[in-house]
């Protein structure tokens, strides 16, 4: 049996979990996904969303040392508490319905029916009992998964992950399958919406097998690379690069027009993320007004390339681009020069102020003659031709696909520059400055100049993103340049790992791509970004794909047994 403290822990975890489940319903996330079928007629994403916290709490609570029975008992206890709280809340809401809707707007009878399993013909009490039983059972299951050997755990997670991916990709995978002549496979995999029990099981099994095989296959591949002679290794590297390039080249053709739009959107955030990463990740300057550079790039491009703008020059995009980049770098320097003497948190707020000033000015009547006020500037020309061009093998590109190739080029270029900068003398100076500004200065690094350089570099990359964005939409409107863009880019960089280039790409796909795959979810995007920022900073400040130097730095600060607060006791820096 679990000890007293374990039980207390299980109960409090259960209460928190119950609270999370109630929150997920009341805020509307779980009900929004209620229509999204995972396994038709059996499981929806909405129910899965409610099941996950229960599973997770069982898994976490069972992590304590102790006998297998004690650990599974704790998991069960947590589940019972969570389920009890949730069921009680459900019954209370049903009793208060429909009046409760005047406060908690999401709790319609439809939503309460969804939570209470009305589709199984259950009354409120029956539904609450079923929820209670499910929560307890799932928590126990989570606990048992934790008790299982590592290999089993991995396979289960792999199988479940495969099912989730196949579900998420459904709206994009189906038309592709039909187009390529896999209609029968499509019929087998998905019914109207969602998978069939048989196909879901198969996907689970395939996913589980792949996860089971993966570590061994990876090890074998690693061993072969390690054993190969240098010549063969370089051949392998080039082959890998070639495959990657071929893949990137065929992305628009493979993914179809809708998924290409999503990828292009992700691409813009990759580009912006790479730029902000230089400022935040390398130099350690928190810039909350990054959108200002994006806006400068977009508006200046629109001004000089659109024939209908106030300037009316109607330049070619590629002629305009160097001018845009140069101007933005200058703007970066001009904004940077006065503010870079400020301490980190003040700098963040000042840049936020600049971003907001830019936003208000863009849409204002005062600047309407030049920037077009709320309507912005229209008829910005395409980057290449009239938005249509032909490429070998994959044929004509138009719409988002036409933006894809130049944007890919910008991203690759930005990643290359960022990579080279990182391991250059400049990168090392930034690194030193970020870790300890005063020591860096004492070793002869001109911190002001390096900060300015970071600001200008970030501004230049951001402006390229803005320029591409203006041509992609063939116009600019002030509504696209709001604080949330800055914060979204920051979330991308933070989630991926500050200072990490692959991290930016992963972060952009996770934060920009996933919500596009879950259209029902769009309303909760910002909520999730907020939660991601908090959770990453607390649980994994180095991000998903950590940068080695940054990780070491953060770990040092975390395990540092110094005073509660650094600055006051920091004799060398002498501030505060």
User: 349-388: which residues touch other proteins (CB under 8 A)?
Assistant: 349-350, 352-354, 356-357, 360-361, 364-366, 368
Cβ(279)–Cβ(290) below 8 Å: yes
Q: Show Cβ contacts of residue 124 under 8 Å, excluding neighbours closer than 6 positions.
A: 90, 91, 94, 112, 116
Q: Is 99 in the site for other proteins (CB under 8 A)?
A: no
Q: Interface residues for other proteins in 435-494 (CB under 8 A)?
A: 438, 441, 448, 483, 487, 490-491, 494
Q: Is 425 in the site for other proteins (CB under 8 A)?
A: no
- Closest separation between CB of residue 517 and other proteins, Å? 20
Q: Interface residues for other proteins in 268-287 (CB under 8 A)?
A: 284, 286
Q: Is 186 in the site for other proteins (CB under 8 A)?
A: no
From the list 189-197, 346-354, 419-427, 462-470, the region that binds other proteins by CB under 8 A is: 346-354
Q: How far is CA 85 from CA 129, 437, 534, 564, in A?
A: 11, 50, 26, 37
Q: Is 512 in the site for other proteins (CB under 8 A)?
A: no
Structure tokens at 414: 């930005």
Dihedral sign, Cα of residue 115, residue 116, residue 119, residue 120:
positive
Q: Given the complex with other proteins, which of 98 and 197 has the nearer CB atom?
A: 98
Q: Is 54 in the site for other proteins (CB under 8 A)?
A: no
> CA-based angle 159:165:168, to the nearest 5?
145
Q: Given the complex with other proteins, which of 32 and 61 has the nearer CB atom?
A: 32
Q: How far apart are CA 285 and CA 278, in angstroms?
A: 9
> CA-based angle 334:338:339, to the nearest 5?
105
Q: Is 416 in the site for other proteins (CB under 8 A)?
A: no
Q: Given the complex with other proteins, which of 138 and 358 has the nearer CB atom?
A: 358
Burial (CB count <10 Å: 0-12, 13-18, 19+), residue 377: buried
From the list 113-121, 204-212, 303-311, 567-575, the region that binds other proteins by CB under 8 A is: 567-575
Q: How far apart are CA 101 and CA 108, in angstroms?
A: 6
Of the residues 63, 110, 344, 409, which one makes contact with other proteins according to CB under 8 A: 344
DSSP H helix total and E strand total for the chain: 25, 6
Of the residues 8, 222, 237, 341, which one makes contact with other proteins according to CB under 8 A: 341
Q: How far apart are CA 86 and CA 135, in angstroms?
A: 9
- Closest separation between CB of residue 446 and other proteins, Å? 10
Q: Interface residues for other proteins in 26-45 (CB under 8 A)?
A: 26-29
Residue at token pair 């600060």: 557
From the list 103-111, 123-131, 219-227, 390-398, the region that binds other proteins by CB under 8 A is: 103-111
- Beta bridge partners of residue 378, listed in sequence order: 475
Of the residues 181, 338, 392, 444, which one makes contact with other proteins according to CB under 8 A: 338
| Count of positions (residues) in the chain | 576
Q: Give the helix/strand (H/E) hosting 38.
A: strand 37-39
- Beta bridge partners of residue 389, listed in sequence order: 397
Q: Interface residues for other proteins in 316-335 (CB under 8 A)?
A: 334
Q: Given the complex with other proteins, which of 343 and 419 has the nearer CB atom?
A: 343
- Beta bridge partners of residue 388, listed in sequence order: 398
The count of chain residues that interact with other proteins, using the rule CB under 8 A, is: 76
Q: Is 496 in the site for other proteins (CB under 8 A)?
A: no
Q: Given the complex with other proteins, which of 395 and 567 has the nearer CB atom?
A: 567
Lay out the site mask for other proteins across 529-548 (x = CB under 8 A, - = otherwise). Answer: xxxxxxx-xx--x-------
Q: How far apart are CA 417 and CA 222, in angstroms?
A: 28
- Closest separation between CB of residue 314 and other proteins, Å? 28
Q: Is 103 in the site for other proteins (CB under 8 A)?
A: yes
Q: Given the complex with other proteins, which of 78 and 490 has the nearer CB atom?
A: 490
Q: Given the complex with other proteins, which of 2 and 281 has the nearer CB atom?
A: 281
Of the residues 182, 249, 509, 524, which one makes contact with other proteins according to CB under 8 A: 524
Of the residues 337, 412, 522, 548, which one makes contact with other proteins according to CB under 8 A: 337
- 3-state helix, strand, coil split of the chain in percent (to 5) is 75, 5, 20
Contacts for 63-68 with beta carbons within 8 Å, 24 or more apart? 63/146, 64/6, 64/9, 66/2, 66/3, 66/6, 68/147
Structure tokens at 136: 């307890």
């Amino acid at each position: 049996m679990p000890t007293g403290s374990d039980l207390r822990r299980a109960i409090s975890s259960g209460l928190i979990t119950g609270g999370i489940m109630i929150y997920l319903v009341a805020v509307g996330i779980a009900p929004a996904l209620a229509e999204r079928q995972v396994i038709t007629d059996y499981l929806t994403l909405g129910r899965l969303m409610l099941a996950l916290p229960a599973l997770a709490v069982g898994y976490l609570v069972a992590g304590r040392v102790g006998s297998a029975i004690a650990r599974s008992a704790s998991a069960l206890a947590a589940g019972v508490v969570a389920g009890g709280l949730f069921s009680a809340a459900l019954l209370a809401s049903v009793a208060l319905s429909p009046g409760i809707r005047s406060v908690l707007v999401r709790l319609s009878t439809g939503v309460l029916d969804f939570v209470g399993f009305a589709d199984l013909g259950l009354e409120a009490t029956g539904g609450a009992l079923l929820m209670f039983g499910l929560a307890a059972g799932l928590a126990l299951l989570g606990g048992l998964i934790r008790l299982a050997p590592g290999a089993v755990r991995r396979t289960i997670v792999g199988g479940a992950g495969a099912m989730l991916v196949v579900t998420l990709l459904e709206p994009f995978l189906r038309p592709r399958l039909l187009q390529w002549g896999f209609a029968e496979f499509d019929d087998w995999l998905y019914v109207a919406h969602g998978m069939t029990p048989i196909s879901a099981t198969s996907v689970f099994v395939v996913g589980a097998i792949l996860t089971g095989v993966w570590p061994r296959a990876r090890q074998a591949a690693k061993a072969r690379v390690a054993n190969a002679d240098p010549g063969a290794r370089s051949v392998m590297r080039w082959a890998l690069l070639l495959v990657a390039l071929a893949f990137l080249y065929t992305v628009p053709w493979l993914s179809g027009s809708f998924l290409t739009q999503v990828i292009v959107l992700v691409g813009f955030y990759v580009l912006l993320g790479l730029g902000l990463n230089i400022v935040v990740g390398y130099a350690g300057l928190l810039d909350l007004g990054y959108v200002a550079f994006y806006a400068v790039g977009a508006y200046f491009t629109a001004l000089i390339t659109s024939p209908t703008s106030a300037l009316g020059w109607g330049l070619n995009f590629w002629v305009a681009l160097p001018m845009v980049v140069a101007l933005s770098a200058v703007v970066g320097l001009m904004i940077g020069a006065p503010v870079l003497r400020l301490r980190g948190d003040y700098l963040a707020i000042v840049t936020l102020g600049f971003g907001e000033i830019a936003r208000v000015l863009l849409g204002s009547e005062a600047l309407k003659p030049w920037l077009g006020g709320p309507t912005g500037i229209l008829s910005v020309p395409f980057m290449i031709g009239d938005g249509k061009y032909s490429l070998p093998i994959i044929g004509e590109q138009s719409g988002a696909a036409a933006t894809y190739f130049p944007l890919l080029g910008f991203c690759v270029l930005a990643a290359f520059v960022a990579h080279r900068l990182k391991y250059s003398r400049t990168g090392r100076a930034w690194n030193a400055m970020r870790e300890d500004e005063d020591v860096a200065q004492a070793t002869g690094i001109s911190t002001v100049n390096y900060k300015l350089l970071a600001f200008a570099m970030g501004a230049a990359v951001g402006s390229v993103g803005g320029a591409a964005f203006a041509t992609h939409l063939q116009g600019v409107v002030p509504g696209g340049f709001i604080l949330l863009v800055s914060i979204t880019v920051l979330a991308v960089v933070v989630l991926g790992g500050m200072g990490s280039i692959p991290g930016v790409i992963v972060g952009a796909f996770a934060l920009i791509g996933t919500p596009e795959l879950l259209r029902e979810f769009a309303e909760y995007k910002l909520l999730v970004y907020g939660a991601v920022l908090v959770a990453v900073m607390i649980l994994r400040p180095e991000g998903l794909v950590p940068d080695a130097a940054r990780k070491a730095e953060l770990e040092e600060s975390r395990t540092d047994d110094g005073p509660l607060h650094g600055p006051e006791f920091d004799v060398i820096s002498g501030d505060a």
